[in-house]
């Protein structure tokens, strides 16, 4: 598009030459895109307009040194531009939301649909991330795979206005961000906006094993395809290897196909089944789904990343984020890793943010879920409830540390060859730094 066309699409004013925009939109000036559109966002700490020098073209709220489309609200304008592009592409939009598992499911689905699908990178799933994902698409794109997140009522409805979904998947309703929503029922109301956005030709992919999600069938005009132990897309005969990776049979409409996943954790089975249901909804055959799931590698950092040091220490880095449900899943994976190993299982756990009034209860719950783990290392006073819960669950060795550096020092001193170490907390704790240091100590390599 020429910059004048961008201005017309978003209701902006062009300042400077009418250049041709041939690259994607971006918000980080350090990762400029050749021929792209720099979106100058004014944040709490950084004003993008101050970093526009050298940009090919800019979308901003005031003129810059580069050719600029000036608008009143940059975020709203970005959404309008993405909506224009979605309308011209005419490709299926597959949207996924849930309290946990969104990114893993999105990554599986992107692999199932192949290299001509454009998918959300990492978890760029908000009012900036969704349109930026859309604006990476071009005439060769066959599918848009969009992770969509919500922190309040109306958020998903807005994202669906930007990219109206063809297939909407709701994975679960949990306590992630419950402090912002005000309660689990409010979370369910917000997540259901994704299926309400479907027309009669769309498909709602719903978790049959989550009663709040299953109830969303009444909130959509589209067809309903369920996944889960009792779903239309289901699994059976799950086994885990020594690295906690699942092999199982995946079934739909009376047919079954064998799948062997390459990611650690039994919870990956549900994520894979959700992605399978979404792919089936757009015509991918079940046999092809099984074959492709079995070749899918991890695509997003710090989510169940497993590395092994030369001395045999395993480090399971799941430090990208945390809530009670994802903590339980990670602990299950840790116990599976320790099942056939001579060493100990060590859980290094930090604070879970955004639990609101459920903060103390949530941490106590996670502590109780550590039953069967040999050592629990709690990072920081804010996560002290985990220690209390772990002791009540009979964990023999519970260590409470002052922070990340103290936790790293303890694990460095006490972890032994053959141990399996889980590292997990909310994003703000930045425990991926701890995991990386442990791996680097022994020249670890990915498993």
**Is residue 446 predicted with pLDDT exceeding 60?**
no
* Residue that terminates a domain, selected from 260, 293, 326: 293
What is the rounded CA–CA span in Å between residue 440 and residue 329?
26
Q: Is the pLDDT of residue 443 over 70?
A: no
Q: Which pLDDT score, from 0 to 100, does residue 262 have?
A: 97
Per-residue confidence band for 441, with pLDDT thresholds at 50, 70 and 90 = confident
* pLDDT single digits (tens) 76-110: 999 999 999 999 999 999 999 999 999 999 999 99
Q: Which residue, 41, 71, 101, sits at the end of a domain?
A: 71
| Confidence grade of residue 169 (pLDDT, cut at 50, 70, 90) | very high
Is the domain of 309 the same as that of 368?
yes
Which band of pLDDT confidence, cut at 50, 70 and 90, is reported for residue 181? Answer: low
Distance CA 285, CA 123 (A): 27
As given in the structure block, the two tokens for residue 321 are 């984020």
CATH number for position 162 = 3.40.1190.10
Q: How many domains does the chain have?
A: 3
Does the pLDDT value for residue 287 go beyond 80?
A: yes
Q: Could you tell me the pLDDT band of residue 179, with boundaries at 50, 70 and 90?
A: low
Q: Residue 445: what pLDDT? A: 54
Assessment of whether the complete model's pTM goes beyond 0.75: yes
Residues 116-142: what's their mean pLDDT?
Answer: 95
Mean pLDDT of 420-430: 96
Radius of gyration, CA atoms only, the chain: 23
Any domain includes 255:
yes
pLDDT value at 227 more than 60: yes
Does 292 score more than 60 pLDDT? yes
Residue 177 scores a pLDDT above 70: no
- Whether 298 maps to a domain, the answer reads no
Co-location of 88 and 39 in the same domain: no
Q: Region 366-390: what's the mean pLDDT?
A: 98
Q: Do 117 and 219 fall within a single domain?
A: yes
Under 8 Å between Cβ of 66 and 55: yes
pLDDT at 182 over 80: no
Is there a single domain that holds both residue 224 and residue 321? no
pLDDT, residue 260, reads: 98
Q: Report residue 66 as tokens.
A: 């580069």
Residue 217: its pLDDT value, please?
Answer: 98
Q: Are residues 116 and 34 in the same domain?
A: no
Asked if the structure places residue 300 within a domain, the reply is no
Q: pLDDT class for 317, splitting at 50, 70, 90?
A: very high
Burial of 32 (0-12, 13-18, 19+ CB in 10 A): middle
Domain range for residue 63?
3-71
- pLDDT at residue 373 is higher than 90: yes
Q: Where among 71, 105, 121 does a domain terminate?
A: 71
442, pLDDT greater than 80: no
- 393 found inside a domain: yes
Cβ atoms of 363 and 386 within 8 Å: the answer is yes
127 in the same domain as 57: no
Same domain, 400 and 350: yes
CATH assignment of the domain containing 46: 3.40.1390.10
For position 412, which CATH number holds? 3.90.190.20
**How many CB atoms neighbour CB 6 within 10 A?**
24
The reply to whether 88 and 59 lie within a common domain is: no
Q: Do 340 and 411 fall into the same domain?
A: yes
In a domain, 299, yes or no: no
Q: Are residues 266 and 201 part of one domain?
A: yes
Q: 95 phi and psi, to 5 degrees?
A: -115, 140
Q: Quick one: 239 and 117 in the same domain?
A: yes
pLDDT band at residue 112 using 50, 70 and 90 as cut-offs: very high
Please indicate, yes or no, if residue 140 is contained in any of the structural domains.
yes
Q: How confident is the model at residue 354 (pLDDT cuts 50, 70, 90)?
A: confident
Q: Residue 183 — pLDDT band, cuts 50, 70, 90?
A: confident
- Cα(178)–Cα(355) distance, integer angstroms: 5
In the predicted model, what is the mean pLDDT of residues 414-434?
96
Distances (CA, A) of 337 to 341, 350, 370: 7, 20, 14
* Domain match, 88 and 223 both: yes
350: closest CA among 373, 331, 322? 322
């Amino acid at each position: 598009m020429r910059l004048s066309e961008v201005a017309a699409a978003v209701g902006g004013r062009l300042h400077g030459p009418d250049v041709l925009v041939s690259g994607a939109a971006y918000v980080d000036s350090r990762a400029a895109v050749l021929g792209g559109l720099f979106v100058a966002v004014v944040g709490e700490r950084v004003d993008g307009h101050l970093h526009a020098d050298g940009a090919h073209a800019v979308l901003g709220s005031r003129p810059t040194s580069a050719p600029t489309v000036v608008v009143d609200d940059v975020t709203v304008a970005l959404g309008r531009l993405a909506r224009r592009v979605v309308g011209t592409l005419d490709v299926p939009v597959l949207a996924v939301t849930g309290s946990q598992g969104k990114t893993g499911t999105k990554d599986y689905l992107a692999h199932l649909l192949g290299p001509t699908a454009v998918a959300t990178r990492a978890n760029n799933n908000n009012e900036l991330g969704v349109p930026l994902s859309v604006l990476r698409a071009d005439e060769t794109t066959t599918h848009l795979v969009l992770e969509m997140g919500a922190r309040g009522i109306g958020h998903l409805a807005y994202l669906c206005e930007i990219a109206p979904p063809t297939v909407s998947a709701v994975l679960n309703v949990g306590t992630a961000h419950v402090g912002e929503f005000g309660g689990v029922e409010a979370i369910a109301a917000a997540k259901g906006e994704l299926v309400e956005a479907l027309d009669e030709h769309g498909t709602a992919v719903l978790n049959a094993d989550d009663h709040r999600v299953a109830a969303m069938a009444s909130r959509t005009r589209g067809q309903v395809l369920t996944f889960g132990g009792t779903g239309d897309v289901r699994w059976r005969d799950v086994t885990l290897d020594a690295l906690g990776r699942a092999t199982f049979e995946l079934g739909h409409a009376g047919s079954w196909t064998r799948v062997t996943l390459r990611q650690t954790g039994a919870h990956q089975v549900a994520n894979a089944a959700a992605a399978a249901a979404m792919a089936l909804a757009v015509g991918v055959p079940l046999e092809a789904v099984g074959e492709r799931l079995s070749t899918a590698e991890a695509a997003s950092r710090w989510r169940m990343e497993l590395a092994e040091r030369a001395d045999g220490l395993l480090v399971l880095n799941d430090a990208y984020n945390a809530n009670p449900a994802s903590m339980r899943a990670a602990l299950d994976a840790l116990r599976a890793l320790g099942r056939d190993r001579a060493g100990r299982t060590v859980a290094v756990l930090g604070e879970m943010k955004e639990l609101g009034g459920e903060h103390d209860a949530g941490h106590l719950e996670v502590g109780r879920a550590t039953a069967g783990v040999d050592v629990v290392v709690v990072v920081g006073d804010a996560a002290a409830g985990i220690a209390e819960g772990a002791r009540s669950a009979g964990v023999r060795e519970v260590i409470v540390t002052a922070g990340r550096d103290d936790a790293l020092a303890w694990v460095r001193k006490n972890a032994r060859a053959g141990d399996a170490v889980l590292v997990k907390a909310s994003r703000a704790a930045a425990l991926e730094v701890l995991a990386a240091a442990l791996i680097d100590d022994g020249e670890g390599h990915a498993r």
